[in-house]
Amino acid sequence: MKTIGEICSLSELKIGQTAVVKSINITNKNVKRHLLDMGLTKGTKVSIKKIAPMGDPIDILLRGYELAIRKADLKQIEVEVIQ
Amino acid sequence: MKVGLVGNQNSGKTTLFNCLTGMNAKIGNWPGVTIEKKVGTIKGTKHEITDLPGIYSLSPYSAEEEVSRNFVFNENPDVIINIVDATCLERSLFLTTQLLESNCKVIVALNMADKLEEKGLSIDEKKMEEMLGAKVIKISALKEIGIEELIKEINKPLKSKQNKVIPQYLSKDYELEKYEEIVNQKYSFISKVVENCIKKKIKPEAISDKLDKILLNRWLAFPIFIIIMFLIYYLSVGIVGSFTVDLVGDSIGSFGEYIGKLMQNLGASEWVNSLVVDGIIAGVGAVLGFVPQLIILFTCISLLETTGYMSRISLLLDKIFRKIGLSGKSLIPFIVGSGCSVPGIMGTRIIENEDERKMTTILTPFIPCSAKLPIIALFAGYFFPNSSGIASSSLYFFAIVVIIISALIMKKFVFKHTSNTYISELPEYKLPSAKYILKDVFDKVMAFIKRAGTTILLCSIIVWFLLSFSFKMEYGVDIEESILAGIGTKISWAFKPILGENSWEATVSALQGLVAKEQVVSSMAVINGLAEDASQGSQIFASERSIWFLHSIISICFYGI
């Protein structure tokens, strides 16, 4: 389990953990743009809400709504654990 | 006046559109239900209103965005109603900030205002108006609250129209780094708006989360999913099917007899009598007998769509579908396609990746649609008289196997890609609106009946004619000498490899399956009715079981094309 203050990728968090987005390093430009439009920007608070029964995709809570994203994409999002 | 309805996916645009126009457009609780624009007139006015597909941004990257963007910037609307999910303000306002840049009169409609209380939120709309510089109105499209105020606001006279300029950052080749900066700025403005206008109270754990603990549970999710899907098809194809089809079939049979006697008494000639009883009533009736089953099937699909469980299914199966080059989103077209392939195929537009979209489009027709239901039930009843319900529902699982194999073949030889992304909003569960479901099911069933009254009626008459007359135009010939038998025998060699034998009856009905799948049953009923003895009639069914499977996967009817 990642501890508070640790920098890691969003895919490494456990259910219930909260983090702040540090940088979005997604290589696919369209995917990155889409996530930006949906409010996944630098400084956004995200928490892990649910995990699909097979472990992937992961459902995250951000800006008051839930978004399901695959682990592979979450891996390319760097966050700082705050809770 | 030209009004546009713009908002995020799943924000209730279509519900508001129906509410404003009195129309009944399709609603669902999964993102991306509206895939092209719909136009209507606002009740009590002459304003033309356009329902646009749900988008998160006006950037030109998906087909939906392109449609909405074109409307806003090129079609010169007078008013834009920006529908905003009040329970999810932050993300929704991003699009609002873009719309405000369009120089168009924007009215922000805060939808689902009735749910704020429940979620422990309260919104200060006056403050919000001030900060955004646009009129803000609280509404509930579902409960029809605030609609009059909204219409009143639309009716207000306009200032002179200004030319619309597409902001530079929304152009296609804009640098992504700079775009990111602009998005960051917009979102920090939005955070300020939200901070100033929303009061949050402590909210209890949402019902959706509690439900998901069970429905998305690691061990329970799959068994629950399989049970739900099995129940849907078992209920509609099996239990209700065998019961009501017999009932309706019997009453149509006795109705035919009654009409036959009536016509005899009226002195109608033998061939007219035969046309009506053996041709029209037998043919159309055979198909109409399936209406009760369809009602059940359509209701179940409608429930899956409106409650929000559909989004869970897509999340649940994403990892499996990824392995065959698809994503969880492909599942929605498949399930909708079990009603009818056409809306299923239209629904594939929610899939972002082009290869995945094409594959899903090709595969959707493999799912037995409701028109194949009569065929499935007919053969199941014949082959497995004691367990036709289970046999029929297992056919859906057979279809899934066919889909997986086809997808793997396509992935290997045609679309050499890996499924690269899955980004989907997970909406909260909603109690379905009985009013909407009734209307939705009614419309679909009526469409089916209409086809029974047109295409199938015509085909039944043609089949009857071809069966009752010989090539020499003599009426009342033995069925083996009829025109249809002649044609069928001549081409049955071509179908031998798939049908397994030389049977003109099976050949003819398979051909008709291409026109409209339900026609198969209809023409079999006509052939059966005209056959002189029972053994001749049942000969049709005596072909190998492969026919059954063939029909279940004959992919496309002309409606689909």
User: Nearest residue on chain A to B169, judged by CA atoms?
Assistant: A33
Say whether B183 and A41 touch across the interface (CB within 8 A).
Answer: yes
Contact A57 B88 (CB under 8 A): no
Owning domain of residue A59: 7-81
ipTM for the predicted complex comes to 0.93
Q: Band the pLDDT of B22: cuts 50, 70, 90.
A: confident
A13 domain-assigned:
yes
Beta carbons of B503 and B539 less than 8 angstroms apart: yes
In a domain, A2, yes or no: no
Reported as a pLDDT band with limits 50, 70 and 90, residue B80 is: very high
User: What's the rounded mean pLDDT across residues B200-227?
Assistant: 85
A52 located within any domain:
yes
pLDDT at B535 over 50: no
Contact call for residues B288 and B282 (beta carbons, < 8 A): no
Max CA distance (Å), chain A:
32
Q: When comparing pLDDT for B103 and A80, which is higher?
A: A80
- Any idea which of B21-25, B262-266, B290-294, B543-547 has the lowest mean pLDDT? B543-547
Does the structure show a pLDDT above 90 at B439?
Answer: no
What pLDDT does residue A81 have? 94
pLDDT grade for B511, boundaries at 50, 70 and 90: low
Of the candidates B28, B29, B428, the residue with the CA atom closest to the CA atom of residue B208 = B428
**Nearest neighbour of A53 by CB, restricted to B87, B94, B217:** B217
Nearest to B417 by CA among B363, B357, B334: B357
Q: Which amino acid is at B365?
A: P
Q: What is the pLDDT of residues B311-326, one digit of tens each?
A: 999 999 999 888 888 8
> For residues B540-553, b (16+ Cβ closer than 10 Å) or e, as one string?
bbebeeebbbbbbb
Identify the CA nearest to B554 among candidates B489, B502, B506, B487.
B506
CA-to-CA dists, residue B314 to A40, B219, B311, B332, B458, angstroms: 22, 17, 5, 7, 40
Tell me the chain B residues in contact with residue A60 when contact means C-beta distances shorter than 8 Å: none
Average pLDDT, integer, range B99-114:
89
Nearest CA distance, A66 vs chain B (angstrom):
5
Report if residue A45 sits inside a domain: yes
- The CATH number of residue A26's host domain is 2.30.30.90
Could you tell me how many CB contacts below 8 A there are between chain A and chain B? 112
> What does B434-500 look like in DSSP terms, one character per residue?
HHHHHHHHHHHHHHHHHHHHTHHHHHHHHHHHHHHBBTT--BT--GGGBHHHHHHHHHHHHHHHHHS
Strand partners, A8: A79
CB neighbourhood size of A9 (10 A): 17
User: In the prediction, which pLDDT does B15 show?
Assistant: 86
What structural domains and CATH numbers belong to chain B?
2-200 (3.40.50.300), 221-423+431-435 (no CATH), 449-553 (no CATH)
3-state secondary structure B95-145: HHHHHHCCCCEEEEEEECHHHCCCCCEEECHHHHHHHHCCEEEECECCCCE
pLDDT at B222 over 80: yes
Q: Please write the tens of the pLDDT for every residue from B109-137.
A: 999 888 887 778 889 989 999 999 999 99
- DSSP one-letter code for B560: T
Please say whether the beta carbons of B96 and B84 come within 8 A.
Answer: yes
Sign of the alpha-carbon dihedral angle for B145, B149, B153, B155:
positive
Domain membership flag for residue A65 = yes
**pLDDT over 50 at B532, yes or no:** no
Q: Is residue A63 domain-resident?
A: yes
Q: Which of B87, B393, B125 is nearest to B239 (CA)?
A: B393
User: Side by side, which strands form the sheet with B79-85?
Assistant: B38-41, B48-51, B2-7, B79-85, B105-111, B135-138
Q: Sort out which chain A residues have CB atoms less than 8 A from B218's CB and list them.
A: 53
CA–CA gap between residue B442 and residue B218 (Å, rounded): 37
Closest by CA position to B10, among listed B54, B46, B45, B40: B54
* DSSP one-letter string for chain A: -PPTT-EEEGGGPPTT-EEEEEEE--S-HHHHHHHHHTT--TT-EEEEEEE-TTS-SEEEEETTEEEEE-HHHHTTEEEEE--
- State the average pLDDT over residues A54-72: 93
Choose the weakest-confidence range: B103-112, B209-218, B267-276, B402-411: B267-276
Confidence of residue B221 (pLDDT cuts 50, 70, 90): very high
Which DSSP letter does residue B172 get? Answer: T
* A1 assigned to some structural domain: no
Least CB–CB distance from B57: residue in A37, A52, A67: A37
For chain B, the residues whose C-beta falls within 8 A of a C-beta of chain A are 56-57, 59, 61, 87-91, 94, 176, 179-180, 183-184, 187-188, 209, 212, 216-219, 221-222, 315-316, 318-320, 322, 328, 352, 420-427
Write the pLDDT tens digit of every residue in B328-376. Answer: 888 888 888 887 776 777 777 778 777 888 888 888 877 877 766 666 6
How many domains, in total, are found in chain A?
1
Residue A62 domain-assigned (yes or no): yes
pLDDT band at B559 (very low <50, low <70, confident <90, very high): very low
